[in-house]
Structure 1
Amino acid sequence: MKLAFSIAKRFLLSSKGQTLLILIGIVIGVSVQIFIGSLITGLQASLVDTTIGNSSQITIEAAGTQNYFTDDNTLFDQLKNDQRLTAVSKSFDGSGFIVLDEDDTYPVLMRGFEFEQANQIYDFESSLVEGHIPASENEIMIGTNLAKDLELSLNDSVNFLTTSFNEVELEIVGIFDLGVASLNKSWMISPLNNAQKFFNEENQLSAIETQVDDVFAADVIAEDIASHLDDNLITTNWKDQNEQLLSGLTGQSISSYMIQVFVLLAVLLGIASVLAISVVQKSKQLGILKAMGIKDRTASFIFLFQGFMLGLVGSLIGVAVGIGLSYAFSFFVKNPDGTALVPFNLNIPFIVISFVIAVVATTVAAVIPAKNSSKLNPIEVIKNG
Structure 2
Amino acid sequence: MKLAFSIAMRFLSSSKVQTLLIVLGIAIGVSVQVFIGSLIQGLQKDLVDTTIGSSSQVTITSSEEDNRVADWESIISEIDSLDLPTELTALSASADLPVFIDSGNRTLSVLLRGLQFPESNAIYKIDTRLVDGKIPENYREILIGKGLKEDLEVKIGEKITIFTPDRTVETLEVVGIFDLGVASLNRNWLISTIDTAQSVGDLGDAVTSIEMQVSEVFRADENASLISEALRNPSLQVTDWKSQNEDLLSGLNGQSISSIMIQVFVIIAVSLGIASVLAVTVVQKSRQIGILKAMGLRDSTTSFVFLFQGLALGVVGAVVGIAFGLLLIIMFSTFAVGPDGEPILSISLNYGFVMLSAIIAISASTIAAMVPARRSSKLSPVEVIRNG
Q: TM-score range by the shorter chain?
A: over 0.9
Runs of 4+ in structure 1 over 4 Å off:
none
User: Is the 8 Å Cα contact of residues 79 and 85 (structure 1) preserved in structure 2?
Assistant: no
Q: Describe the SS at the equivalent of 1:94.
A: strand
CA distance, structure 1, for counterparts of residue 122 and residue 255 of structure 2: 30
CA distance, structure 2, for counterparts of residue 291 and residue 245 of structure 1: 65
What number of residue pairs does the alignment pair up? Answer: 384
Q: Describe the SS at the equivalent of 1:205.
A: coil
> 2:97 is matched with which residue?
94
Q: Describe the SS at the equivalent of 1:61.
A: strand
CA distance, structure 2, for counterparts of residue 240 and residue 304 of structure 1: 49
User: Is the 8 Å Cα contact of residues 41 and 347 (structure 2) preserved in structure 1?
Assistant: no
Task: For 1:1-385, list aligned pairs within 5 A.
Answer: 1-82=1-82, 84-101=87-104, 104-229=106-231, 230-385=233-388
Matched AA of 1:281: Q
CA distance, structure 1, for counterparts of residue 223 and residue 332 of structure 2: 35
Q: Describe the SS at the equivalent of 1:200.
A: coil
CA distance, structure 2, for counterparts of residue 140 and residue 28 of structure 1: 56
Matched AA of 2:264: V
**Backbone CA RMSD of aligned residues:** 1.4
Matched AA of 1:28: I
> Bigger CA drift: 52-61 or 344-353?
344-353
CA distance, structure 2, for counterparts of residue 369 and residue 138 of structure 1: 80
TM-score normalized with structure 2 length: 0.96
Displacement after TM superposition at 1:376 (Å): 1.2
> Bigger CA drift: 291-300 or 126-135?
126-135
User: Is the 8 Å Cα contact of residues 274 and 368 (structure 2) preserved in structure 1?
Assistant: yes
> Bigger CA drift: 224-233 or 146-155?
146-155
User: Is the 8 Å Cα contact of residues 52 and 241 (structure 2) preserved in structure 1?
Assistant: yes
* 1:322-380, Cα deviation, whole Å (9 max, x unpaired): 12212332232123333322213121221222111111110000011111111111112
User: Structure 2 stretches of 5 or more lacking a match?
Assistant: none
User: Is the 8 Å Cα contact of residues 300 and 371 (structure 1) preserved in structure 2?
Assistant: yes
Matched AA of 1:185: R
Q: Describe the SS at the equivalent of 2:239.
A: strand
Q: 1:249 to 1:96 in 2, by over 3 A?
A: same
CA distance, structure 1, for counterparts of residue 307 and residue 133 of structure 2: 69
% same residue = 53
CA distance, structure 2, for counterparts of residue 335 and residue 122 of structure 1: 25
> Bigger CA drift: 259-268 or 331-340?
331-340
Matched AA of 1:16: K
> Bigger CA drift: 236-245 or 344-353?
344-353
Q: 1:79 to 1:332 in 2, by over 3 A?
A: farther
Matched AA of 2:278: L
Displacement after TM superposition at 1:104 (Å): 4.4
Displacement after TM superposition at 1:81 (Å): 4.1
User: Is the 8 Å Cα contact of residues 164 and 199 (structure 1) preserved in structure 2?
Assistant: no
User: Is the 8 Å Cα contact of residues 315 and 358 (structure 1) preserved in structure 2?
Assistant: yes
Displacement after TM superposition at 1:280 (Å): 0.9
> Bigger CA drift: 248-257 or 162-171?
162-171
CA distance, structure 1, for counterparts of residue 288 and residue 362 of structure 2: 27
User: Is the 8 Å Cα contact of residues 112 and 194 (structure 1) preserved in structure 2?
Assistant: yes
User: Is the 8 Å Cα contact of residues 87 and 211 (structure 1) preserved in structure 2?
Assistant: yes
CA distance, structure 1, for counterparts of residue 106 and residue 300 of structure 2: 92
User: Is the 8 Å Cα contact of residues 42 and 342 (structure 1) preserved in structure 2?
Assistant: yes
Displacement after TM superposition at 1:137 (Å): 1.8
Matched AA of 1:7: I
Displacement after TM superposition at 1:165 (Å): 2.0
